[in-house]
Amino acid sequence: MSVAELREKSHTDQDPAELPRGVKILHDPVRNKGTAFTEDEREALGLRGLLPARVHSMAEQELRVLANIREKETDLEKYLYLIALQDRNENLYYRVIMNNIEEMMPLIYTPTVGKACQEFQHIFRKPRGMYVSLHDKGRIKELLQNWPHKEARIIVVTDGERILGLGDLGAGGMGIPIGKLSLYTACAGIPPTQCLPIMFDVGTNNEQLLNDPVYNGIERRRARGEEYDALFDEFINAAKEVFPGILIQIEDFGNTNAFRLLNRYRDNTCLFDDDIQGTGGVAVAGLIASLRITGGRLADQKVLFLGAGEAGIGIADVFVAALREEGVPEGEARRHCWFVDSRGLVCAGRDNLAEHKLPYAHEHDYIDNLADAVRTLQPTALLGLSGQPQTFTKEIVEAMAEFNERPIIFALSNPTSKAECTAEQAYTWTEGRAIFASGSPFDPVKLGGQTLVPGQGNNAYIFPAVGLGVIASRSRVVTDEMFLAAAHSLANQVSEVDLQLGRVYPKLSRIRQVSAKIAADVATMAYDKGYTDKPRPDDIFADIHAHMYHPVYPHYV
């Protein structure tokens, strides 16, 4: 699509007389153009004297923004600058993000967002999104009606209990929905006015936060049980009533609630859990792509997980679905997945196992540590989702390389400080033979005259695209099979060049093209399975593109 067509696509038919005028439009992030307001717009909208004389192009504004960001000394300062830009000029914010995605994604999301959440009460500037708390019981519908953008199509909600690998950050977890929804727009083109971040504030068990005088959440320990469930049920029902057809993503809930809420609402609400299903999709995509390097079959793989929480179980479930698709019976497929948690190997002989671990508690002698589990089980792939840094030791990685010519090692815990090992360690300890991916980005590694480029198993390859496919097709539900379809679609878009570099995910700069294809595959499934009442478009891929936002200024005159 040409620039002229994009401008026409963004054109508004609003009469200038109906728009905010003067400083009001300058304070409206959706409509503000800053120094890019034309001479005619300045005249019509009462902006004379409120802006410097020169009219700048959007490209010139982008240059100024990039220069300012690159002068900041810390990533947190860069994050704050970008948030301030988002608060005053959303179109310019997304142009900067989309045109510089490899540089900007680590700033607006992991790893920087983790630090931002830890400091959220201290760096708080301007509210974004909505806060639903225990104080709002009985009036959540009324609260949601205060949201100014009635066309909201997607909500990302967190209760802040398990933020990345950082634990309970209470209301500070609001940085996660804000960041996730920025990726929905930047990576998949969902219009920012259709995105609603929500903090579901039921308290925190973080004593440091409770004792902090500037903490901006409710000051009590976390609600549990009936009190929690009643409030969440009210929220879900209110969201569906106020925003018909809304897609809800639950994010960074603790294990206690995540599996339970997903199972409770998934069949009657357009809802999914990215930590479970999105992580499953992106990791399985990496495993499928890895087989193009190793030459093996999916059914020949044995995967050992360090960490048996939402992410690990989610990956295993998608992996099992992939094996079943190839004709492997479910029970046999589950025996391809093994888990080590904080107490050792998850096996049938252990007592007091959490319900979500039981399907993967196989008959085996108990092993109390990861190193012995690796040597005994001899997995083809080792996946870390423990939130415990440096747990893939030299001994463990070298053991993986003893019985695998190309060991698959995914250190997926976020942020970077929580990774089970670094890319350099994985490559060095295996003499460059490891197929490595991580949750947060690592720089390329030079080893033995070659440059190895680690893949980033970032959920941003999956959840924005699935969301776009669901929204465009108006699917009533989000299913596990959609995430498996997304995994296959993502793996198929890894190029031979990517694989030669050791990268099992597409280059991040291609993420919008990759997302469009995944979204089309997800939408196709929604039409094929009858999950939507929307008539099937003649060209699903074109329909997906028609839904995608482009950061181009509208014309007001």
Q: Give me the active site residues, please.
A: 109, 180
The residue type found at 133 is S
For residue 172, give the H/E element and its range. none
Among candidate residues 417, 373, 414, the one with its CA nearest the CA of residue 396: 373
Distance (Å) of CA 548 to CA 401, 468, 512, 513, 542? 44, 8, 9, 11, 10
Residue linked to tokens 């995540």? 258
Burial (Cβ within 10 Å: 0-12, 13-18, ≥19) of residue 533: exposed
Count of C-beta atoms within a 10 Å radius of residue 47: 19
CB burial class (10 A; 0-12, 13-18, 19+) of residue 67? exposed
Cα 439 off chain centre by = 11
C-alpha triplet 490, 156, 211: angle, nearest 5°:
125
Q: Quick one: which H or E segment has residue 447?
A: strand 445-447
Q: State which amino acid sits at residue 368.
A: D
Burial (CB count within 10 angstroms: exposed 0-12, middle 13-18, buried 19+), residue 446: exposed
Do the bridges between strand 337-341 and strand 344-345 make them parallel or antiparallel, or are there none, so unpaired?
A: antiparallel
Q: Which DSSP helix (H) or strand (E) runs through 478?
A: none
DSSP label of 347: B
Q: Where are the alpha helices (DSSP H) in 430-475?
A: 463-473
| Cross-strand partners of 362 | 347
278, 488 Cβ separation under 8 angstroms: no
Q: Which two tokens stand for residue 244?
A: 């018909």
Burial (CB count <10 Å: 0-12, 13-18, 19+), residue 306: buried
- CB within 8 A of 284, min separation 6: which ones? 315, 318, 319, 322, 484, 487
- Other C-beta atoms closer than 10 Å to the C-beta of 117 total 27
Q: How far is CA 477 from the centre of its chain?
A: 19
305 beta partners: 339, 383
Q: CB-based contacts of 378: which residues, under 8 Å, 6+ apart?
A: 302, 403
Tokens matching residue 109: 């999301």
